[in-house]
């Protein structure tokens, strides 16, 4: 089975529906096969400054091209964020035009200054697990014993999501 990299997308500035939709289209160029694409989901901000607008979230699964590594893919994701106007962060979890998080790169694990795989909070976030479960319900994040769908069902958070 080919390795799949999962990328969580989020936006809560500008026309977020359009931004996330266009970013998903751009991710296709990083994949060796057609993308797995979730629906768009609207979510309340989590751990964000007071007054932050709601997010539009999605998850895409791509097949990394030959020779691609988690680090090289992360570099391309950061470039895509900049292309969409993302500015260097001033405040933790501040509103942003586009946020791309590498959630998993197959079953690889990694812990460096720039990248932790799998994403350390992915299994705790409904705004990640809901769209991930839509495209890969049986995927087990490295270090977890339950599938994305099982993690979602067992999640005890007050997060509210609405499918668009």
The whole domain housing 16 covers 5-163
Compute the average pLDDT of residues 57-72.
95
Residue with tokens 């998850």: 59
Q: Residue 88 — very low, low, confident or very high, per pLDDT cuts 50/70/90?
A: confident
DSSP E strand stretches across 16-75: 36-37, 41-43, 55-62
Compute the average pLDDT of residues 48-75.
93
The total of structural domains in the chain comes to 1
| Entry pTM | 0.94
CATH of the domain at 15: 3.30.70.560
Would you state the torsion angle of the CA atoms of residues 17, 42, 144, 65, taken in this order, to the nearest 10 degrees?
A: -10
DSSP E strand stretches across 5-128: 5-11, 36-37, 41-43, 55-62, 99-105, 110-111, 116-117
Reported as a single tens digit per residue, the pLDDT across 115-154 is: 999 999 999 999 999 999 999 999 999 999 999 999 999 9
């Amino acid at each position: 089975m080919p390795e799949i990299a999962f990328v969580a997308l989020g936006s809560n500035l500008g026309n977020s529906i359009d931004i996330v939709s266009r970013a998903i289209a751009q991710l296709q160029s990083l994949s060796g096969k057609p993308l797995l694409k979730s629906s768009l989901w609207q979510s309340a901000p989590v751990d964000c400054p007071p007054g932050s607008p709601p997010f539009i979230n999605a998850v895409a699964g791509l097949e990394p091209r030959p020779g691609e590594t988690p680090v090289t893919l992360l570099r391309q994701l950061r470039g895509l964020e900049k292309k969409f106007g993302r500015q260097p962060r001033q405040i933790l979890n501040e509103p942003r035009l586009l946020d791309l998080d590498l959630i998993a790169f197959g079953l690889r694990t990694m812990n460096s200054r720039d990248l932790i795989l799998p994403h350390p909070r992915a299994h705790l976030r409904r705004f990640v697990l809901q769209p991930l479960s839509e495209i890969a319900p049986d995927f087990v994040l490295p270090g977890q014993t339950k599938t994305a769908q099982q993690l979602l069902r067992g999640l005890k958070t007050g997060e509210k999501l609405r499918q668009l």
